[in-house]
């Protein structure tokens, strides 16, 4: 692995907040220089040009793609830090081969994402979004309500990591039956029945996705999986848009087999398919499940601190890889 670097440049590729003040304070107080790209995420090619121009020792990235070319362009690069959890926008394998750390902040928004998922379930069971639209359109018709008692439903959670467990705790307070699926099931999950994915889909009235996007999970929910779900159910996705085949969801909503689809993320974001936005059973938010006044500040500070830590020669608190040529005795960084 590369040795500690002298004070150098850190590139912030993009950001989903009003300014770069938090990142700048952490980076510049450590003696480094922060260079900020455009707020909106640029293309892979544009990021590659920024890296070639500034030769950063560290990269902070929110949603912009940090390609293999970008990672290989700067000989000074020591760390790529994700302002978030998922790593699907970073060429992790290339970073590993080139001795570059990849980090994330895996636990900054556990409460927020779980709250968002459960909020979407409650909006569906109580008809909040649909009835609000009706009232605002001048239709006051209580007899039209088709509401559900959450405690009588079965909720299936796909992915039982930090956020999945938090969602299970919240749903458990409502008294509903909880199923969960995870490739690495815990030894003990009080109040939760661990099942296979197909069994979870067959038995659940509500299916909530809490899994990362990987080649193995791409379109983990498609037409075959939707067909297994109970008629009239709800699908919630607050993880990554690519987990779901959106066209299959639109067809399931059209047919009435699926009653609701609550999505904070879309495979095509920020573009919303017309067939989805036209669905009365679709509840859509613009990739904000992670966000709160507390979580965003924590995310920005901790991601920047990881960059500073690595540039000072330290080991990241939340390493997502083991860079090639890691010195003997360093142990498992994860």
Place of tokens 């990881």: 306
Closest CA to 154 of 171, 176, 175: 176
β-strand partners of 35: 11
Closest CA to 245 of 268, 222, 261, 214: 222
Residues catalogued as catalytic: 240, 269, 287
State the CB neighbour count (10 A cutoff) for residue 20.
19
Burial zone of 149 (CB within 10 Å; 0-12 exposed, 13-18 middle, 19+ buried): exposed
β-strand partners of 278: none
CA dihedral angle for residue 255, residue 205, residue 166, residue 195, rounded to 10 degrees: -110
> Left (φ > 0), alpha (ψ -120 to 50) or beta: where does 175 sit?
left
Tokens of 247: 């066209």
What are the angstrom distances between the C-alpha of 325 and each of 6, 100, 329, 334? 20, 10, 12, 16
> Left (φ > 0), alpha (ψ -120 to 50) or beta: where does 324 sit?
beta
Closest CA to 57 of 96, 87, 27: 27
């Amino acid at each position: 692995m590369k040795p500690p670097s002298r004070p150098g440049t850190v590139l912030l590729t993009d950001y989903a907040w009003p300014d770069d003040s938090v990142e700048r304070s952490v980076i510049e107080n450590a003696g480094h220089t922060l260079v900020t790209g455009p707020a909106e995420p640029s293309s892979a090619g544009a990021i590659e040009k920024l890296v070639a121009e500034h030769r950063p020792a560290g990269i902070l990235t929110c949603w912009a793609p940090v390609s293999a070319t970008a990672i290989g362009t700067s000989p000074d690069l020591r760390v790529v830090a994700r302002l978030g959890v998922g790593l699907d926008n970073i060429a992790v394998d290339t970073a590993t081969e080139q001795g570059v750390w990849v980090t994330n902040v895996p636990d900054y928004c556990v409460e927020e994402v779980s709250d968002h998922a459960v909020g979407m379930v409650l909006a569906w069971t109580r008809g909040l979004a649909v009835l609000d639209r009706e009232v605002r359109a001048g239709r006051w018709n209580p007899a039209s309500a088709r509401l559900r008692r959450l405690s009588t439903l079965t909720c299936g959670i796909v992915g039982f990591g930090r956020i999945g467990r938090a969602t299970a705790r919240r749903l458990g307070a409502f008294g509903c039956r909880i199923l969960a699926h995870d490739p690495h099931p815990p030894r003990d999950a009080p109040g939760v029945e661990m099942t296979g994915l197909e069994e979870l889909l067959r038995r659940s009235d509500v299916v909530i996705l809490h899994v990362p996007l990987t080649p193995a999970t791409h379109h983990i929910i498609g037409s075959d999986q939707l067909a297994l779900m109970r008629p009239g159910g709800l699908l919630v996705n607050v993880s990554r848009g690519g987990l779901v085949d959106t066209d299959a969801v639109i067809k399931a909503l059209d047919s009435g087999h699926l009653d609701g689809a609550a999505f904070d993320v879309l495979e095509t974001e920020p573009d919303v398919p017309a067939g989805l936005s036209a669905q009365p059973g679709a509840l859509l938010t613009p990739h904000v499940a992670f966000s709160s006044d507390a979580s965003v500040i924590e995310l920005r500070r901790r991601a920047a601190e990881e960059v500073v830590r690595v540039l000072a020669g330290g080991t990241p608190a939340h390493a997502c890889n083991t860079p090639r040529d890691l010195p003997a005795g360093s142990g498992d960084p994860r």
